[in-house]
Amino acid sequence: MDILTKLYGPFFDVNNWKTVIESGEDWMIIFSLVLIECLLSVDNAIVLAAQTQKLPDKKQQEKSLFYGLWGAYIFRFALIGVGSYLIHFWEIKVLGAGYLMYLSLNHFYRMKYPERAKRKKGKNKKPILPLFWSVVISIELMDIVFSIDSILASLAISPNPVIVLIGGLIGILCMRGIAEVIMRLIDIVPELEVMAYFLIGLIAIKLFLTIPMIDIEIPAAAFGIVVLASVVVTLIVHKVRN
């Protein structure tokens, strides 16, 4: 109980919230955290947008992001409380990288061997969860994996968990907006889905390289350039094909 009070006590301190809300300096820090969240979450937005494409219509896709948004808020609150211990959870990054690489390779396998994929799908047993909820759970798992870096970066800027929480919640909302934009672009330019799964493979490698034994951090700006270049190439391919 003492541990829980120590970890989550600041969230329930009314004076702490009042001080943060009334402080212009704290809001400047929050603004900085939102920018960091958006930069670090570009890869997350790509993964989420690609995952929602499994659902049959736009309504379900947007609904899955809405459910994922509230789940992300809950998990973010829980993870910020144990932020100082997240650095030891490198195993989560390994699992997350493995899962992302599976998503990428599985997508290209289905593209290259559509008949084999259909036969394999026909042999599979009835899924435990409906497709919609399996996508929502996948979104939540990815939120947990990707939130580690942003939480650690935020705690390095401000040790006050309330400031980190406010910045993170606003940043998540912005990131969901980015994911919805990507979803709409995929409808207009179908080739972007292939690009998204290519980037998911790169994201898996990028995430794996950050584990302590390797400790190689690819700058957000460099990855952003890769994303931008990938989009430009994909748009050119779309133009040529049409």
pLDDT tens-digit readout, 9-38: 777 788 888 888 888 888 888 887 787 676
Q: Is residue 9 part of a domain?
A: no
**DSSP assignment string, 145-156:** HHHHHHHHHHHH
Which residues constitute the domain of residue 139? 24-241
Q: Is pLDDT of 68 > 70?
A: yes
d(CA 36, CA 30): 10
- What residues have CB less than 8 Å from 63, skipping those under 6 apart? 132
CA–CA distances in Å: residue 73 to residues 79, 105, 168, 180, 214: 10, 30, 8, 18, 30
For residue 199, being part of any structural domain is answered with yes
Q: Is residue 5 part of a domain?
A: no
What is the pLDDT of the chain when averaged over all its residues? 79
Task: Report yes or no on 191 lying in a domain.
Answer: yes
In percent, how much of the chain has pLDDT > 90? 4
Structural domain contains residue 1:
no
Residue 65 has pLDDT above 60, yes or no: yes
Q: Alpha helices, DSSP H only, in 41-130?
A: 42-52, 58-81, 90-112, 114-123
- Mean pLDDT score, 70-96: 73
- Please indicate, yes or no, if residue 43 is contained in any of the structural domains: yes
Q: Give the predicted TM-score (pTM) of the model.
A: 0.67
pLDDT at 84: 52
Segment 182-223, tens digit of pLDDT:
888 888 888 888 888 888 888 889 888 888 888 888 876 787
Comparing 71-75, 100-104, 125-129, 156-160, which segment has the lowest mean pLDDT? 125-129
- Closest Cα partner for 65 from 198, 172, 203? 172
Residue 15 within any structural domain of the chain? no
Residue 3 located in a structural domain: no
> How many structural domains comprise the chain?
1
Return the closest-CA partner of residue 37 out of 188, 187, 177.
Answer: 177
